[in-house]
Chain A
């Protein structure tokens, strides 16, 4: 108890700095995965991608990041086990942050495609198991999280498959695909706007202080969808099409229309990523702050301090601003066959899945979901060649991340505890 009252501000400051650095790392590195498909299919330039990412990552983190943050803060560990020694929970959360940060830095350096989400969950489980034993973990909730890591890529894959097939039927299989694209693509844009707006309004505006009736919220969402639809319509009208028509079909021009659509889905993707991944950085911080502020009371129902979500959001944006250009810039050369019509299907599916998961508070991996979505398009015979050995490598690195995060967190936890209790 004395530790918290004596060192409280120091602990908060330390956690805030580490959390901020973690958010910064998420912005600098992880965002490239979310924006990869857009830049890779040349629908966006690097600069555009960075700007979109900055705006929508911030919006996603601030408006829709609350639920997942709550899960990481208090959903994984049963706080009752720490009532008598709340300082251990504080140390543990800081250790998890350090562990995840170190593991991510190492992975980035070695080029392993690891997941931020998996490393932070691994970290939390690691210190909880070693400090308070097996029962301190809310296994029901954690089981749900583990299941979601398998289920969400599968769902994203199925959605991507369906979206891609619908685009094939509505546009590519038409006598005049260009006309069909002009007609139907704005609807996809409206759909993307609708999903985003609904989740934001339902889950996000509450903690900003704007609670809305479900009916009003739905109406506003529909209005936003219509506005997005209209903007899309105008943007498509302004595209310069190539005059020469190649063969019977006009797929080059059709892809130009899909490139406009991809701007919208890239916004969704950035928003979705922000809403889910900000929690990895600030969830543990939020836990530390609430324990210290209540002087050692582990108050499961305490609200999130107002400054925490913006701190994470700013961290992500700063990371992007400083390194995003360079990291996203490494994308783009090797791509041979990722056209906007495919990228859009994968992105829209992944973004919807992630945003919905964020709404329910499940910390899932954005990258993993996107991998599932790309596989879905591949199954629909939409992609020239998918590298199966890379996919195996990605899955393997995910499985390694959990125990790695746990072990590192245990090490940090032991160090910090001995520093403060000596």
Chain B
């Protein structure tokens, strides 16, 4: 049947799949909170359930990612350069991978969290989750940015969101240092391997926050083009 030449000009937008991908990333990231709750309660059955949920989300995200790559693989004219979209997507992909690594370490090493640091630790985790959620809201602004041609008032608004993201990242960094010194104080009571794992998970969590900030940074680059 006749293909309408005008409509055949419009290729699939990468924006919706990118948002979909980010939604899976954030959803997986949010599961870290119940996961650490389960770990604190040594409920390893529950932890395994959560791990497999995270793992499924990672797979969903991967298939969405392939989808976006297909839309970007064609010879398309985009409002911002193709590499920015690809890099944003790659940062998002790294985030969900990082989430899964944390979940793997916690679940299969049955990593218990020392009573002394539980309170601070939980709030650190939730801060890392919040920063990812904020990165998601920045990604969700892509639609509005497109409406406004990636400039003007809307762009300024998004830039402000990204600056806030930077501030939050600094705060989580402080929190991490505080937590590290707390772990340092109770190191003697922990088995050496447990201590190493604890430090490792801490640094992965702060990596997660950093990746969220980098998603924002990629969008900032789109705006400055």
Residues of A within 8 A of B (CB): 29, 32-33, 36-37, 40, 108, 111, 113, 164-165, 168-169, 172-175, 247-249, 251, 254, 327, 330-332, 334-339, 341, 367, 370-371, 374, 378, 380-392, 394
Contacts and interface: CB of A to CB of B under 8 A. Distances in A.
B77 A388 contact: yes
Given A378-B77, A380-B149, A387 B157 contact: no
Contact of B152 (A36, A172, A337): A172
B221 interface: no
Interface stretch (B5-13, B27-35, B46-54): B5-13
B74 interface: yes
B79 A381 contact: yes
Nearest to A398: B5
Given A113-B3, A385-B77, A389-B75, A248 B147 contact: no
Contact of B154 (A172, A332, A341, A392): A172
Given A381-B80, A386-B76, A251 B9 contact: no
B181 interface: no
Contacts of A382: 79, 146, 149
Interface in B124-172: 141, 143-144, 146-154, 157
A378 B79 CA distance: 7
Contact of A339 (B7, B14, B147): B147
A335 B7 contact: yes
18 contacts: A36-B4, A37-B6, A173-B152, A248-B157, A254-B147, A327-B2, A330-B2, A330-B4, A334-B12, A336-B16, A337-B10, A337-B15, A367-B6, A374-B9, A382-B149, A383-B77, A387-B74, A389-B75
B7 A334 contact: yes
Contacts of B13: 336-337, 384-385
B71 A385 contact: yes
B146 A173 contact: no
A248 B144 CA distance: 10
B144 A331 contact: no
A386 B147 contact: no
B74 to A, nearest CB: 7
Contacts of B148: 168, 172-173, 249
A331 B7 contact: yes
Nearest to B148: A172
Interface of B: 1-16, 71, 74-80, 141, 143-144, 146-154, 157
A384 B146 contact: yes
Nearest to B3: A111
A174 B4 contact: no
B149 A168 contact: yes
Contacts of A29: 2
A387 B9 contact: yes
A169 B4 CA distance: 31
A247 B144 CA distance: 9
A168 B152 contact: yes
A382 B151 CA distance: 11
Contacts of A36: 4, 6-7
B145 to A, nearest CB: 9
A387 to B, nearest CB: 4
Contacts of A173: 148, 151-154
A206 to B, nearest CB: 32
Given A40-B7, A334-B7, A337-B146, A385 B78 contact: yes
B74 A336 contact: no
A367 B147 CA distance: 25
Contacts of B79: 378, 381-384
A375 B189 CA distance: 68
A33 B149 contact: no
Pairs of residues from A and B, 4 with the lowest C-beta to C-beta distance, nearest first: A113-B5, A384-B13, A173-B152, A381-B79
A378 B12 CA distance: 14
Contact of A330 (B1, B6, B146): B1
A336 B16 CA distance: 9
Contacts of A108: 2
Contact of B10 (A168, A383, A394): A383
Given A40-B10, A173-B152, 5 more contacts: A165-B149, A168-B151, A168-B152, A334-B7, A389-B74
